[in-house]
Amino acid sequence: MNLHLTVEQQMLRDAVARLLQTESSPGRVRAAEASGFDARLWAQLHALGIAAMRVPEDAGGGGMSLFDAALVADELGRSLASVPFAELLPATRLLAELDSETAQELLAAVLEGGIVVLLPHELCLDEPRVATVIEGGVVLALDRDQVVAIRGLAAQSGANLGSGPYASVVLSGTNAVGERRVLASGSAARNAFGAAIEEWKLLKAAVLVGVAQQSMQMAAVYATERHQFGKPIGAFQGIAHPLADVVTEVEGGRLLVWHAISALAHHEQDAAALISMAWWWATQTATRAVAQSLRTFGGYGVTLEYDIQLYYRRAKAWSLLAGDPQLELDAVAERLWDSHSAVALPDAGEVGISFGLGAAAQSFGEEARHFFATHLTNELRAHSHHSVAGYHQGFHRKLAQAGLLFPHWPVAYGGRDKSVFDVAALDEVFEELGWQRITGPVTNQVAQTVMMFGSDELKREVLPRFAAGDAVACLGFTEPASGSDVFAARTRAERSGDDWVVNGQKMFTTAAEVADYIFLLVRTAPELPKHSGLTLFLVPINLPGVEIQAIHTMQDERSNITYLSDVRVPDRYRIGEINGGIAVMAASLEIEHGGNQYRLSFSNMYRHALAWAKTAVRAGQALITQPDARRRLARVAVHQTVATDLCYRALWATASGVTNRAAFGPMSKLFSTEHYRTDAADLMDLAAPESLFSGTYGIGHVELGYRQAIGMTLYGGSSEVHRSRVAEQGLGMPRSRT
């Protein structure tokens, strides 16, 4: 995966942003509402070469990529620029591709400053269509198998939601208006127009992402400046948390647009489906985001004096230009599951960015798959379970010997220096084959913390044992009275010579029944403030005074309560400085606070649900052919794709050393687990009443997912904790936790 912009792309984006800061100010946007078009701004963008950026160089244009255009579209959306950017760029590229003298004449006029816009749907006889109409401009439309240019349309026919340059007109049949010329006809022309519509979807989706992003920034600033009850309103979770949800969705939307463009550039099989996903998701998230942003302003938000209402109106209006956006879910389903589906796609050019884990990681995944095929006996398959009950010490050691337990560790500690992408590919194999992914990741979190903060003596003792698969660890953070507020720990450790005497109890010490060590957070200086006076220890679980009591969950899992009574822990098991636990915990939680481990369960549930839907029959018809089921499954497919993109971005940021990435992990975890929960519930409804029954495969796996998903919104920090982090680190809002 690569999400780095080139220097040229950064310069392009920054140049457009600087221009828009002055030339598409709120005052200019308001002034343009009478006609819906800012001619002066368009002239300035034309002078920068923006209008011709997607026209090939040999046709007199800039020959720039679709990704370059999407970056510009994002900035135009942020400023609500009153120009038909997403409508014009696909039209100009279409003209360059049409082999007709008329098309080339029209293109030449556009390159000199004329305006041509694309109608993003097909004409029907005597039926009105909403077209973008600029005075003196030309509308390109598809009328059956003809691409036509229509002139002489009347601009803006009455008020409309977005105050855009729109007119509802009949453009085909006996009542058609305007002067029309045929530019090209036949299947090739039809395909070229279809590809232009796909490009329009991506550019308009990028515009909507920009609209949503800016509306949330406005809300965040307002929530920081506006005070109620003696504090900024952004410090209240009722304000901060809904904004955290929508900024996560919008960030996922931007990634989905980029993903679709990357798939086009690399000629990937799912490119067409990704375009439809990106368009549908942008229409939904932009509408939600601006609504939540407006609500942040309270009653002021609906007054015309405040700019946020401009964003509210434009987001919805721009989402409707191609018709009912919900119907795009039908296109998602068709493009994913119908073998006969063939979609004409635009040429994206060279984009630079890429998605996925990469060839090296996929090769490593195949190595792991081969290992499992060779060593996973029928007896082990029978033993496997999604919880710690599936832990098998012998197989755990075999994984270690094969370098498949902690392959990303440095060679010096027994690893193979593999990348985070390699590990992600490995985890996907574990999930696919149903092998538990609890003891390994938890032990990894503890071991990496020891690598960073442990003494040389402690490293020599425990790291070789972990690396060889001879020992595993569990976490001792949560307590009955503190919950997610781990820094409110009351478990005490008092110095006694070279030892520490520990007393207290920990909740949800999952895997303690098989663990050799518990990574224990204790209070060593109760007189200090809450976030001070904490220290971490790696406590051997076989020490006298450690007692483990099982607790069982509805997810078919065992967790534990661990009691510690006068447990004497030698000081060599201390990790980090005395009373310096906050730094150790921050580093450890950074390892934990990502969503990919949870996203894999979500993905697996979707895979099982889809397999079931392809064989299930309702009212004599295959379920996968029924419109309602297809749309619901398509919705889950979009959510699962966005979750993957968010999770992979967090991995990429870690691997690339990207700064300002603190919100990436919480976003990926929040989105993955919350949509896992809601989609599991919806799929349970879809499959009712068969979904009542437990099972490992097909719809039975959805039943398991329904029970699992609610817990995953709590594990690794609850969704509320992650919403606070996203609001603070992703939107710059005041701290909403104490």
What span, in angstroms and rounded, lies between the C-alpha atoms of 202 and 220? 27
Which H or E element spans position 383? Answer: helix 378-383
pLDDT per residue over 630-657, tens digit each? 999 999 999 999 999 999 999 999 899 8
The last residue of a domain, from among 538, 562, 591: 591
> Is residue 430 domain-resident?
no
Please state the rounded mean pLDDT for residues 443-457: 96
Average of per-residue pLDDT values in the chain: 95
Instruction: Specify whether 723 is located in the same domain as 600.
Output: yes
Tens digits of per-residue pLDDT, 154-187? 987 678 999 999 999 999 999 999 999 999 999 9
In this predicted structure, the answer to whether residue 737 has a pLDDT above a threshold of 70 is no
Q: Do residues 522 and 643 both lie within one domain? A: no
Is residue 479 domain-resident?
Answer: yes
Q: Which two tokens stand for residue 609?
A: 């649900």
Share of the chain above pLDDT 70, in %: 99
The alpha carbon dihedral of 554, 556, 557, 563 has a sign of positive
pLDDT at 738: 55
| H helix intervals, 403-520 | 420-433, 439-453, 456-468
Q: What's the DSSP call for residue 510?
A: T
What count of other Cβ atoms lies within 10 Å of the Cβ of residue 177? 14
Indicate whether 117 belongs to any domain.
no
Rounded Cα–Cα distance for residues 323 and 526 (Å): 63
* Same domain as 618, residue 698: yes
% residues pLDDT > 90 (the chain): 93
- Mean local confidence (pLDDT), 421-448: 95
Average the pLDDT over 175-204 and give the result. Answer: 97
Residue 450 lies in a domain: no
CATH number at residue 532: 2.40.110.10
CB neighbour burial string for 658-682, b if at least 16 within 10 angstroms, e if fewer: eeeebbbbbbbbbbbbbbbbebbeb
Alpha-carbon separation of residue 419 from 361, 408, 652 (angstroms): 8, 6, 10
What is the three-state SS of 644-698?
HHHHHHHHHHHHHCCCCCCCHHHHHHHHHHHHHHHHHHHHHHHHCCHHHCCCCCC
| Cβ proximity of 404 and 426 under 8 Å | yes
Residue 642's domain spans which residues? 593-731
Q: Are residues 669 and 553 in the same domain?
A: no
Q: CB of 417 within 8 A of CB of 411?
A: yes
58 located within any domain: no
Residue recorded with tokens 């912009």 = 5
pLDDT at 593: 65
Cα dihedral sign, 51-55-58-64: positive
- Name the pTM for this structure: 0.96
Question: How does pLDDT run across 44-82, given as a tens digit for each residue?
Answer: 999 999 999 999 999 999 999 999 999 999 999 999 999
In this structure, are 651 and 694 located in the same domain? yes
Q: 516 with 544, same domain?
A: yes
Which two tokens mark 505?
Answer: 């109890």
Give yes or no for residue 697 having a pLDDT over 90: no
Report in angstroms the alpha-carbon separations of 154 from 125, 165, 170, 237, 318. 20, 10, 12, 49, 20
Both 577 and 698 in one domain: the answer is no
Q: Would you say 633 and 608 are in contact if contact means Cβ atoms under 8 Å apart?
A: no
Structure tokens that stand for 257 in this block: 């647009």
Checking if the pLDDT of 592 tops 80, the result is: no
Looking at the structure of the chain, the number of domains it has is 2
- Considering the domain architecture, whether residues 530 and 612 belong to the same structural domain is answered as no
pLDDT tens sequence across 499-558:
999 999 999 999 999 999 999 999 999 999 888 999 999 999 999 999 999 999 999 999
Question: Residue 721: inside a domain, yes or no?
Answer: yes
CA distances from 252 to 248, 353, 519, 671 (A): 6, 16, 34, 9
Query: 182 — phi, psi (to 5°)?
Result: -80, 125
Higher pLDDT among residues 693 and 156, named by residue: 693
The three-state secondary structure class of 73 is: helix
Res 536: pLDDT: 97
Contact 203, 89 (CB under 8 A): yes
CA distance 365 to 374: 14
Q: Which residue in 97, 252, 127, 120 sits closest to 199, CA to CA? A: 120
Would you mind telling me the total number of residues written for the chain in this entry? 738
Same domain, 693 and 646: yes
Distance linking the first and last C-alpha atoms of the chain: 37
pLDDT score of 534: 96
Do residues 616 and 721 both lie within one domain? yes
- Chain centre to alpha carbon of residue 508: 29
Kindly state whether residues 673 and 560 are assigned to the same domain: no
Note whether 605 and 723 are same-domain residues.
Answer: yes
**pLDDT surpassing 90 at residue 206:** yes
Name the domain boundary from 573, 591, 609: 591
State the CATH number of the domain containing residue 611.
Answer: 1.20.140.10
What's the Rg (C-alpha) of the chain?
A: 29
Q: Which of 568, 591, 614 is a domain's end point?
A: 591
* 135-152 mean pLDDT: 96
- Give the other-Cβ count within 10 Å of 100's Cβ: 16
Q: Please report whether residue 283 resides in a domain.
A: no
517, 471 in Cβ contact below 8 A? yes
Confidence of residue 577 (pLDDT cuts 50, 70, 90): very high
Residue 478 has pLDDT above 80, yes or no: yes
Cα 726–chain centre separation: 13
The answer as to whether 565 is a domain residue is yes
Structure confidence by residue, pLDDT tens digits, 371-392: 999 999 999 999 999 999 999 9
